[in-house]
Chain A
Amino acid sequence: MSKIKSIFKHKNQVLKSGEEGHLSDLVKGQKAKVTGLHGDNLPLRRRLLDMGITTGVVVTIKKIAPMGDPVDIELRGYELCIRKVDMQNIDIVVM
């Protein structure tokens, strides 16, 4: 029962255009602009910056793995796989 509830909750929580959140909140096909990076894993943060996840960049949720995680996102003309857990460290505003 709680599982069904959580699915509905998730559905209601789909962010609308202009709303702020984390990259992990988006569903397939949604587009968002990155507004910042946080998190204590500094090497990981460095890696994300190097891969082009910098403020102002536009990302699209392109493919999602069959079990819902990891996610393939499109940015800067290429695609990157990243886990939901790490996507929580990326602040976005939905476009």
Chain B
Amino acid sequence: MKIALVGNQNSGKTTLFNCLTGSNQKVGNWPGVTIDRKEGILKGTDHVVVDLPGIYSLSPYTAEEEVSRKYVFEEKPDLIINIVDATSIERSLYLTTQLLELDCKVVLALNMADMLEKKGIIIDVEKLSNLLDTTIVKISALKGEGITELISTISQGKIKENRHQKIYQNDVEEAISYIHSNINLIHKRFVSVKVLENDINFNNFQNDKVLNLRKKLENNYGFDIEQIIANQRYEYIVSIKKESVIFNPVKESITDKLDKIFLNKWLALPIFAVIMFAIYFLAVGFVGNATVDWIDSLVSKFGEIVEEFLLNNNASQWAVSLVVDGIIAGVGAVLNFVPQLIILFLCICLLETSGYMSRIAFFLDKIFRKFGLSGKSLIPFIVGSGCSVPGIMTTRTIEDEEEKRMTIMLTPFIPCSAKLPIIALFSGYFFDKYSGLVSASLYFLAIIVILLSAIIMKKFFFKSNTSAFISELPEYKIPSPKYVARDVFEKTVAFIKRAGTIILLCSIIIWFMLSFSWKFEFGVNVEDSILASIGKCLSWVFYPILGELSWGATVSAIQGLVAKEQVVSSMSIIAGFSESVSNSDLIFNSTGIFGFFTPASAYAYMVFNLFSAPCFGAISAMRRELGSTKKMFIAILFQTGVAWVLASLIFGIGSLIMLL
């Protein structure tokens, strides 16, 4: 059996999906977390459960909503679990009335039952079930209540047939039944309503008789047909709600109280700035300073032990060099930054699950709209500060096509977690006490660059209308510690895994290219190595940024395409080679190959790495969401161009300041 989970945005579908299947999909407290369908197996059965993006009606508005409608119509599930947010039951039942017009069994999962009391709502479930003529199970997905009951209801097949109640006024019902008797296909009642509504998807069923029926109704009611149908659906819902729901309004809710602060006219922006600043300050400045040296010494001690062990066992010179100067130097350089990343992942997870992220979108909408973006583009940016790939995928919630494309091209500008090692390395060394400040400044620079780029793009590429901003402000919730811990753990493990795979492989390749000359002689002077000769061909590109022809910085920046943290890894290996030490602390040793870096060129080099073409993972996500390779290349060229110009400017201005 195929079971589809259908419901409004932020109604808890994914939380329920995780309960039903025992899986661990990403949840959040903002509308639109789920952007594609996900499958799992219902616990203790062999039924397939499909989690779908949230929808408000079966007339989809955005690309990700279309996924849900398509699934219901084309994949023909055997059962729909309609998850209904009991705390906003009136709006939620609107979708229910549409689902009940389909030729498919429906079971209502009345979610957030635990919140009802707090909100002063009492629902007579049995009465509601009789009035809607459908099966209802009361659950709380968050607390795991009612889940066993829901599963047993499904597996025992105790679900009412869908008998298509007449919910509209008589004259409308007459028109529907006329159309109904003249078509023959699945979901007949639903299609009949759509034909009457003049929905373009069902144009082939239109005829003069239908047109006359519609005209007559529109004249009688004084509204167009879409309004008539929507009005009557809601009238029906209000009438059954009157009989089955008692509502005693409570005083000001906690959410309203908190919003008085977080959405306060004067405080909202400063609070936002402080929160964003605090995240970077905490991650890079505070935690970074406390842990980097400690882990660094661990790594170098580990290197020494391994080196000794290998030498004692008569390992050949090249093998020792491969392990110590290549693998340990490269992978170790990246692992140094795990504590900072844990803090970053934790902060982003808290932003997403607490409900604050939707507020940011809400109050920044007006500013962003001036630049051709909307509050909705902000969500990809914030998700992107963890990783650009999910950030780029989140753009599916943006309905306006051009705004979506702009957001896809701009999301990689946000410093993602893999860029954090670059920021931490340079700002930790060159700006010492101010490293937290410098890292936060890069974040705000990213926002400025995004807004300026948006202006440029709008001027040259797009004539953008921004999409309407119709969204919900979710209630504030205290994030579940269990979920937060698991989310942070998984992201951290993924980062460490990448260090053990991609970074490891690259480290070996870099080691090889540094150890050998074009004639494949081992142990040549590093200046004569393959890597150096490649870097020397291209180092002129970076001259305006560095004020120096540096093949090492050149090849390292290029490796950012593989993964941004590889920049740090590569620099560590190269520095180690030129100085015959493996301690990454000495990357910027004044006699070494990277000794030429000044604070100005360090900042400029960071800016280039942050804003230039993202890693291959993000590039392919851009390719997928933009839907064309050409557009993808335009995006990459644009990003790299912006990065190069900006970095050169910063180096120029920075050098001038340093002279003064």
Residues of A whose CB lies within 8 Å of any CB of B are 36-37, 41, 43-52, 54-57, 63, 65-70, 72, 76-83, 86
User: Which residues of A are found within 8 Å of B87, using beta-carbon distances?
Assistant: 77-78
Closest CB of chain A to B90's CB: distance in Å? Answer: 4
Q: Are A55 and B223 in contact (CB under 8 A)?
A: yes
Q: Are A51 and B91 in contact (CB under 8 A)?
A: yes
B226 in the interface (beta carbon within 8 A): yes
Known contacts A67-B366, A68-B366; decide if A51 and B226 are in contact (CB<8 Å): no
A64 to B234, CA, bound (A): 26
Known contacts A49-B226, A69-B366; decide if A81 and B470 are in contact (CB<8 Å): yes
**Chain A residue at minimal CB-CB distance from B233:** A54
A50 to B268, CA, bound (A): 31
Known contacts A50-B94, A66-B269; decide if A72 and B59 are in contact (CB<8 Å): no
- Residue of B247, B256, B266, B469 near A81 (CB, 8 A) is B469
User: Which residues of A are found within 8 Å of B468, using beta-carbon distances?
Assistant: 41, 44, 47, 82-83, 86
Q: Are A77 and B247 in contact (CB under 8 A)?
A: yes
- Residue of A48, A65, A68, A76 near B362 (CB, 8 A) is A65
**Chain B residue at minimal CB-CB distance from A42:** B226
Q: Are A45 and B226 in contact (CB under 8 A)?
A: yes
User: Which residues of B are found within 8 Å of A44, using beta-carbon distances?
Assistant: 468, 470
Closest CB of chain A to B255's CB: distance in Å? Answer: 9
The winner among A47, A57, A66, A68 for most chain B CB atoms within 10 A is: A66
Q: Are A70 and B230 in contact (CB under 8 A)?
A: no
5 additional A-B residue pairs with CB within 8 Å, beyond A52-B94, A69-B365: A47-B56, A66-B269, A68-B366, A77-B89, A86-B470
A50 to B362, CA, bound (A): 21
CB<8 Å pairs between A and B, sample of 13: A43-B399, A44-B468, A52-B94, A66-B264, A66-B269, A67-B366, A69-B366, A72-B473, A81-B470, A81-B472, A82-B469, A83-B365, A83-B369
4 closest Cβ pairs, A-B complex: A78-B88, A49-B230, A50-B57, A76-B90
Chain B residues touching A, range: 35 or more
Known contacts A49-B227, A67-B367; decide if A81 and B265 are in contact (CB<8 Å): no
**Chain A residue at minimal CB-CB distance from B475:** A79
Residues of B whose CB lies within 8 Å of any CB of A are 56-57, 59, 61, 87-91, 94, 223, 226-227, 230-231, 234, 247, 256, 259, 263-266, 268-269, 362-363, 365-367, 369, 375, 399, 468-473
A51 to B647, CA, bound (A): 47
Q: Are A66 and B94 in contact (CB under 8 A)?
A: no
User: Which residues of B are found within 8 Å of A69, using beta-carbon distances?
Assistant: 365-366
Q: Are B90 and A77 in contact (CB under 8 A)?
A: yes
- Residue of B230, B256, B362, B472 near A54 (CB, 8 A) is B230
A72 to B90, CA, bound (A): 18
User: Which residues of B are found within 8 Å of A56, using beta-carbon distances?
Assistant: 231
A73 to B363, CA, bound (A): 14
**Chain A residue at minimal CB-CB distance from B232:** A54
Q: Are A52 and B472 in contact (CB under 8 A)?
A: no
**Chain B residue at minimal CB-CB distance from A85:** B468
Q: Are A46 and B226 in contact (CB under 8 A)?
A: yes
A45 to B225, CA, bound (A): 12
Known contacts A67-B363, A70-B366; decide if A81 and B473 are in contact (CB<8 Å): yes
Q: Are A65 and B365 in contact (CB under 8 A)?
A: yes
A80 to B88, CA, bound (A): 11
**Chain B residue at minimal CB-CB distance from A66:** B268
User: Which residues of B are found within 8 Å of A46, using beta-carbon distances?
Assistant: 59, 61, 226
User: Which residues of B are found within 8 Å of A78, using beta-carbon distances?
Assistant: 87-88, 90-91, 472
User: Which residues of B are found within 8 Å of A48, using beta-carbon distances?
Assistant: 470
